[in-house]
Structure 1
């Protein structure tokens, strides 16, 4: 029994939905279908989610929203017209889109989430109707009815652990169930979205809740490659990855699958496969708890930019009890999370994402640390990128880090910092952002 999820590009048009129908029809074990909102039909098009954001802004600002409403409704209508879907479902969709403009604005922390979730929610209604009209006994299920009950954290909902028991009842339903991704419902009935890439999270939650044999995540690529194909020409495809390896690669810039989406499937021991809606016969990339050794210590190379390093130096730092705790406490008080923390006896660097910083926050960090710790040196270093070489087989091979460092040196790339965790699943290098692509190419040439 399989849970299958389709991304926005797979659901962008009538042509794509025809492919989706054939994929679901071709395998009777594909009982649970999780869907995103319609994506772009071409580069000049607008995603439905982006149109809903514009609609939300217009409504909140008190502007005329009729143009926003009409565009979104027309987008769904065009799909229905091309597929010959009866008008009853379209009337429901149009009413739902218009009803958003009657929601209370004041003291409504969930307003934005409710607008955004309408993309997935209405697409699920449309797709369930399309399936039913074309030989699949299908049923639309709202996340509240599916048991996807979440914490009241707008834009960052977390599934309540008790929800898995509720979700399991879906196995008792006979129909092929079409479930909108990206959001859940709080215990008080508020719509609350997951973080970015949230439809992947919904698919993983449903797969874990119904104890699926496989979670198939359909997108627009033939699986996962050993490096970004926009940087490396024709990179090798990866047949199989472990959850740990995928988590490291997703963190460091592999955007095929949201890293949070791995957790529910991982904990439930549900294998996951990335497949291509446009090439469904391709085996894709399977993500499993354990895999056979490949012989190559590195399975993938990833890079991500826009990092900042907070560098702190103080003579005899290592003798001060609680020094690190004080640094992290100040960052926590300012709402900043850290990513990595390489240290020496008199030096500490705290790596964080630049998006958490403003000039005012930077000033507060410097001021608070100076007052609390009296460091000898304290400054921010910007325009940094993180590179990861990833592979669970690395702990069986000597000299992997040396090979990587030599490859970077031969390419004229300076390593600002490096770090390796105790699990030996990955080695992290920090370089200047303007050298990120050259570094990825050098590392790929060395290991592949």
Structure 2
């Protein structure tokens, strides 16, 4: 049995739906289908999820909503019309949209989560209706009836362990397809809560683990995961096979094809993940597999960069002799609810790297002032101009000189590194650069490891 998930671009309109349905029909093992909300049909279009967020904000602000509701329903109506689905089949979708403001929501955060989740919820219902209309038996399965229980905040939920026990009792057979909406589950008190970005990926991996799938197929709009960002390097090499930990390292630093958190259920269940293209389903795509038995064919698998970081640099002589120095800093950060990403250090220096998107200027000023007062460093510097580049590959473990090749490649192009840190797994090297240098550094490293034939 396979779990197959379709992204928003793969379900954006009737034509895209037809491609997805052909993929479902092509393999009798594809019993479980996970849907995203309809995505953009073109660059000027809007995602249904964005329209639902607009709808929620209008309800919260007590503004007129009729135009937004009509725009949302029109997207589903167009898809149904493509398959000549009777109007009666679309009526429950329209009714659900109209009734959304009248739900029982503890506060506006729960309201927002419920509205957002309906992009996937209504699309899954529509998929089941269309499949049955076409003579392919299908059953819509709501997360509430499947027992998908989540914890955390309404718009950043996590899977509760009881979910897997509940899924183990779900009736799955090869005489019908089960259609699940991605992106959300229900809290113990029965309220909708959504996962973070990439939430439908999380749902797919969770179902693959909970239902004991042989493989989890994740359909998107690219033929494979590439060794670097195609917007930075022209026609980068496709990755045919990679490990879970390689994918997580690269996703963290900017690989957006597959959300890094979505891999966790697949890793726990040791379920291989196949990332494939809805528009070219016969292409092999990229297989993401366990590390055991994996044989690396290249030193470096991928190079990723992210420019949304900042750093706090602290210098204090004899810092390494001062007991509790780092602990005191961490206590101050915890006081302001601030988490850090990395903390490379020397005997007199420490650099703390943050995700800048999670911080406000006011919070930065507050904890910097307190660190200056409590820790009294000889030098404190906030560095906003910071990018991180991850060089990742299972083949690095047994190859000497990888760091030298990276440093030389970057230096030969006149770039400097602000930080170098190798992970304990030995499959990744993190380097820091100025934001303006990040793309060029990625190009330099790519040329060194992918354009040469000696690796």
TM-score interval for Structure 1 and Structure 2 normalised by the shorter chain: over 0.9
Alignment of 1:40-439 (within 5 A): 40-103=40-103, 107-173=107-173, 174-290=175-291, 292-439=294-441
Q: In the TM superposition, what whole-angstrom CA distance separates every residue of 1:336-393 from its partner, at most 9, and x where no partner exists? A: 1111101011111100011122221111111211222111111210121110110111
Aligned length: 448
Question: How far off is 1:41 after superposition?
Answer: 0.6
Question: How far off is 1:188 after superposition?
Answer: 0.7
Measure, in 2, the Cα distance between the counterparts of 1:295 and 1:103: 54
Measure, in 1, the Cα distance between the counterparts of 2:45 and 2:64: 22
The alpha-carbon distance between structure 1 residues 136 and 255, as it changes in their structure 2 partners (threshold 3 A), is same
Measure, in 2, the Cα distance between the counterparts of 1:235 and 1:172: 40
Q: Any conservation in 2 of the 1:309–1:351 contact (CA below 8 Å)? A: yes
Unaligned runs of 5+ in 1: none
Measure, in 1, the Cα distance between the counterparts of 2:424 and 2:277: 35
User: For 1:274, what is the secondary structure of its paired residue?
Assistant: strand
Measure, in 1, the Cα distance between the counterparts of 2:153 and 2:142: 19
Q: Taking structure 1 as the reference length, what is the TM-score of the superposition?
A: 0.98
User: For 1:380, what is the secondary structure of its paired residue?
Assistant: strand
Tell which deviates more after alignment, 238-247 or 369-378: 369-378
Q: Any conservation in 1 of the 2:137–2:177 contact (CA below 8 Å)? A: yes
Measure, in 2, the Cα distance between the counterparts of 1:147 and 1:104: 20
Unaligned runs of 5+ in 2: 451-455
Measure, in 1, the Cα distance between the counterparts of 2:337 and 2:45: 36
Q: In the TM superposition, what whole-angstrom CA distance separates every residue of 1:99-137 from its partner, at most 9, and x where no partner exists? A: 112235673541110010010000000001111111321
Measure, in 2, the Cα distance between the counterparts of 1:423 and 1:146: 37
Q: In the TM superposition, what whole-angstrom CA distance separates every residue of 1:235-272 from its partner, at most 9, and x where no partner exists? A: 11111000000000100100000000000000100000
Per the alignment, residue 453 of structure 2 pairs with none
Question: How far off is 1:152 after superposition?
Answer: 4.2
User: For 1:63, what is the secondary structure of its paired residue?
Assistant: coil
Measure, in 2, the Cα distance between the counterparts of 1:295 and 1:47: 39
Measure, in 1, the Cα distance between the counterparts of 2:227 and 2:276: 16
Tell which deviates more after alignment, 9-18 or 350-359: 350-359
Q: Any conservation in 2 of the 1:149–1:184 contact (CA below 8 Å)? A: yes
Q: In the TM superposition, what whole-angstrom CA distance separates every residue of 1:154-192 from its partner, at most 9, and x where no partner exists? A: 111111112101112234455210000000001111000
Q: Any conservation in 2 of the 1:306–1:383 contact (CA below 8 Å)? A: no
Q: Taking structure 2 as the reference length, what is the TM-score of the superposition?
A: 0.96
User: For 2:287, what is the secondary structure of its paired residue?
Assistant: strand
Q: Any conservation in 2 of the 1:60–1:105 contact (CA below 8 Å)? A: no
Measure, in 2, the Cα distance between the counterparts of 1:287 and 1:51: 33
Alignment of 1:29-48 (within 5 A): 29-48=29-48
Question: How far off is 1:295 after superposition?
Answer: 3.6
Q: RMSD of aligned C-alpha atoms?
A: 1.2
Measure, in 2, the Cα distance between the counterparts of 1:260 and 1:2: 20
Question: How far off is 1:88 after superposition?
Answer: 2.6
Q: Any conservation in 2 of the 1:77–1:90 contact (CA below 8 Å)? A: yes
Q: In the TM superposition, what whole-angstrom CA distance separates every residue of 1:141-163 from its partner, at most 9, and x where no partner exists? A: 11111221111411111111121
Question: How far off is 1:89 after superposition?
Answer: 2.8
